[in-house]
Amino acid sequence: AQKITQTQPGMFVQEKEAVTLDCTYDTSDPSYGLFWYKQPSSGEMIFLIYQGSYDQQNATEGRYSLNFQKARKSANLVISASQLGDSAMYFCATATQGGSEKLVFGKGTKLTVNP
Amino acid sequence: GAVVSQHPSWVICKSGTSVKIECRSLDFQATTMFWYRQFPKQSLMLMATSNEGSKATYEQGVEKDKFLINHASLTLSTLTVTSAHPEDSSFYICSANPSGGRPVSDTQYFGPGTRLTVL
């Protein structure tokens, strides 16, 4: 079974600073994907970034980067130059690659960006 | 990115009634869609996998007779909460994968969600 652990219920960051949101995972699948989603107060789930287990390089998407450490089973999200609009819940998730694509989510981290 | 819509965005109903929620992929076809439920301040929990033209696959602990899923076309899946009760009040979100399921790097896109309140 797959499991995602997000140990930070809440995080605070000053505007324009960088912040790291932690995510560790547990899976027995040899091939898997790791995802980060943002959920603002409106409730929609916004896809941010994806990392495949066999990808050699860490994924980056604009201000988002994923610090993938396979041996440690961690997939931390780094947000650079935080903006007030980044305040939201952030969920890490995993899915089996080539499988049923069911996403398993962590409990989430609430990020608050202070002006 | 791909667009997924849900209707209605919110609904209030009386206990004992049934509520239908629609999930549509607007600019792509999806042989597989997923239904999640999210209680306040909690994470998303997968309820079932909706398969076009066949029966849905339910997660353990989800009552298939209470949460009816119909995936009648490649762009529409419906979730019907039958005989709803206050404990069914939740945020229901659907998602779909434009690739139809493979490879996983084609990420899932989520609908905006439906907030159900059962009085």
pLDDT at residue number B99: 59
CA distance B82 to chain A (A): 24
pLDDT at residue number B86: 96
As given in the structure block, the two tokens for residue A48 are: 């941010």
CA distance B90 to chain A (A): 12
pLDDT at residue number B48: 94
Distance, in Å, from the CA atom of B61 to the CA atom of B44, rounded to the nearest integer, reads 15
pLDDT at residue number B101: 47
pLDDT at residue number B108: 80
Which positions 40-69 of B are in contact with A (Cβ < 8 Å)? Answer: 42-46, 49
Give residue-wise pLDDT tens across range A1-17.
789 999 999 999 999 99
Whether residue A30 lies within 8 A of chain B, CB to CB, comes out as no
Whether residue B113 lies within 8 A of chain A, CB to CB, comes out as yes
pLDDT at residue number B1: 61
C-alpha torsion A60→A62→A67→A70, nearest 10: -30
Nearest to A43 among B42, B43, B91 (CB): B91
Report whether pLDDT(A105) > 90. Answer: yes
Secondary structure (3-state) at A10? strand
CA distance A115 to chain B (A): 24
Give pLDDT < 70 ranges for chain B.
1, 99-106
Q: C-alpha B69: how far from its chain's center?
A: 8
Give residue-wise pLDDT tens across range A16-73.
999 999 999 999 888 888 999 999 999 999 989 999 899 889 999 999 999 999 999 9
pLDDT at residue number B103: 44
As given in the structure block, the two tokens for residue A89 are: 């819940």
Q: A40 CB contacts (<8 Å, ≥6 apart)?
A: A46, A87, A88, A89
B28-32 LR contacts (CB < 8 Å, sep 24+):
B28/B2, B28/B75, B28/B96, B28/B98, B29/B74, B29/B75, B29/B98, B29/B100, B30/B74, B30/B75, B30/B77, B30/B96, B30/B97, B30/B98, B30/B100, B31/B74, B31/B100, B31/B101, B32/A101, B32/B96, B32/B97, B32/B100, B32/B101
Altogether, the residues listed in chain A come to a count of 115
Report whether pLDDT(A101) > 80. Answer: no
